[in-house]
Amino acid sequence: MEFTNPKAGGRRPAEAAGPEGPGAAAARPVSWQVPRDAVPGRNLALLPIAEVLSRRDAGTVLLDGRGPAEFTAGHVRGAVSIGLRGRFEECAGAVLPPDRDVVLVGDVEIAAEAAARLGDAGYDRVVGQLDDLASVLTAGPELIEASSRLSIEQLAELHRLEPALQLVDVRTPTETARGTLPGAREIPLAILTKLPDALDRSAPVLAYSACGYRSLVAASVLQAAGFGDVADLLGGYRAWEGAGLRVVREATPDTAAAPEVGARAAAALVDAGALMLDVREPGEWQAGHVAQAWLLPMGQVARHRSDLPQDRRIVVVCRSGGRSAAVAEALRAWGLDAVNLSGGMTAWAVAGLPVVTPGPDIAGLVVHRTHPLNCETSIPALIGGVVMPNARFYVRNHFETPRLDPVSWRLEVKGLVERPLRLSLRDLHNKRSETLVATLECAGNGRSAFDPPADGEQWQLGAVSTAEWTGVPLAEILDRAGLTTEALEIVFRGADQGNVGEAADPIRFERSLPVTDAGHSGSLLAYAMNGEPLPLEHGYPLRLIVPGWYAVASVKWLTEIEVIGSPFTGFFQTKRYVYETERNGTVAREPVRLQQVRSVITQPSAGQEVTAGDLLIRGVAWSGAAPIGKVEVSIGSGPWQNARLIGQQHRHSWRWWELLTRIDSPGETTLRARATDLGGRTQPERPHWNRLGYGGNAVQNVPLLVR
């Protein structure tokens, strides 16, 4: 594709060159006045938008060096994206014609760097910089346009719905030899810009590269050349392959597509014991799903493949069948018996099959207070997937929710450190990240079962949820700051604050960890939750995650980390979140730390009527001290029966279990479940009473009526 703009009238590059180009005086169709203003530090003219567009129409290349998010949100029509924070010189060499003028149309603040780096790469035809991008972006659509970037989930759906889709791999032959996406055409970036008829302008195009940088360059080049329906793939080949989805390799024989079943056949499989695996996003799940289906978004399937049952057929479902087809293929490649529900939830609904729609008893949270917001996940809503959707993750607040500006927000690391730090959100995003699946539980979960009643929020059993957290390891930040030899504890301060008790002045929420625990606990400074930026109610823009500990240690809205040389005595460290009991006439206090071992029955629910005969009992269990070793279930006054643990053992995450048993006698009965971790800790029959009602982990009783 020759890199030309149709508006240039087919001029040869030399004829369309700017004032400094060969033959400019004779061929230039417009008289351009060079403004007196220039980019600071460079002899680079600041050009008004009218002149920029005139030069573009005459053949000048418009180059935008901003980041992907800024470019795709809005840019000057016809601009090419080559972000400065990527392989700038390499991509400039691949797509910029050496005999064409260049005008920079990104931010003025980065113009000097862009021009200098182009000069270092041998391009000396930069003739100016757009003077006021901000004003242009607020203008009408005749001046600006946006770009489309698709996720791997959207690509999977589009692949199935759009047979004319042109999927283009712009990586080098060395890279593509290691694998490509199914159906892709291999056209390296440097060649793509020079082949005039390589692609059909009337059909949609989606470009991808290794991780998304070069594909955005390619998409912008195509868009500038007049292609109307162009997008690129977020995360590129790595995101697709990392999700465990099928790739094509020369040395590996191609695999057959996964078998497909219709909606009614899928329903029959589920009734016969198959697992329905819903690979949509949490928001789609909440709009309606099949009862008892597991929620596991497509991008998380590969990471949690060991949690899927090896001995059951799996029916994979999404909205229309595209994502589920890709996932079903991957599952079969891993040796699992998976089929795809053709037509997805759309076909299921058209067939008139039952769909669970969100309601206050399923998808909503059980609200205890609104100021500050405190709500727990309903027990039926605990049924689902490996992680809890963000919208149904329990919320525990002590004060009103602070709203922090992510641009001006800073994390300050101070105190007994050799190198105090002040980090922006961008600084943290640029560091090595880790992802951790961890269960968070409020220390007061189950408080309503205390007898006599204990002070505090009367939580049932839903103040617990599991999420996939992504961020920077705390140990790396502490290592960078350098703790002094006097360091004893590390205090974490949130931005939330308010009055407590009779104190006149407001206090901030703050907790401490001993230095030994902070450095070796696997703690994370998390900025993402289940693959999305932290929701506001869960600590945006940054929170601490201390796996295995009660969630009070995982401070939200984190703004300060202070290293101190003496025990911390803050209100939430010594007056709250302590096990306070009376022994021999004296009050004993022990700090709340690791989560107690616990099991919760999620199915059937309390008070439910069931039919005599086979009964499936399901639940979830966890412990902060050690992985779950076993779960036992008792029916009525009967013996304890061992439940089957589902999925792989995770150090800091809950584990699902189930028991298929029988109840033959009609009437009222009670289910009970108790968990034991690998450290030998077992749930007690009654909670260990303490004044503030923390750590209550007694065996749960679920009454049933058998018909």
* Catalytic sites, residue numbers: 318
The CA distance from 452 to 88, in Å, is 68
Nearest to 190 by CA among 95, 275, 267: 95
Q: What are the backbone dihedrals phi and psi of residue 218, each rounded to the nearest 5 degrees, phi first?
A: -60, -45
Classify 647 as helix, strand or coil: coil
Packing angle of the helix pair 213-224, 88-95 (nearest 10 deg): 30
**8 A C-beta contact, residue 84 and residue 113:** yes
H or E, element range at 628: strand 628-635
Instruction: Enumerate the β-bridge partners of residue 494.
Output: 558
β-bridge mates for residue 507, sequence order: 498
Residue 488 contacts residue 544 (beta carbons within 8 Å)? no
Q: Which residue, among 128, 143, 158, has the nearest Cα to 61 in the 3D structure?
A: 128
Strand order through the sheet with 598-603: 598-603, 613-622, 655-663, 644-645
Q: How many CB atoms lie within 10 A of CB 659?
A: 20
What tokens were used for 311? 């001995």
> What is the rounded CA–CA span in Å between residue 623 and residue 18?
70
Pairwise CA distance, residues 669 & 598, whole Å: 22
Write 14-18 long-range contacts (CB < 8 A, 24+): 14/99, 15/59, 16/58, 16/59, 16/60, 16/100, 17/59, 17/99, 17/100, 17/101, 17/125, 18/55, 18/58, 18/60, 18/101, 18/125, 18/127
CA 49 to CA 338: how far, in whole Å? 56
- For 178-231, the three-class secondary structure string (H helix, E strand, C coil) is CCECCCCEECCHHHHCCCCCCCCCCCCEEEECCCCHHHHHHHHHHHHCCCCCEE
207 vs 214: CA distance, rounded Å: 9
- CB of 494 closer than 8 Å to CB of 542: no
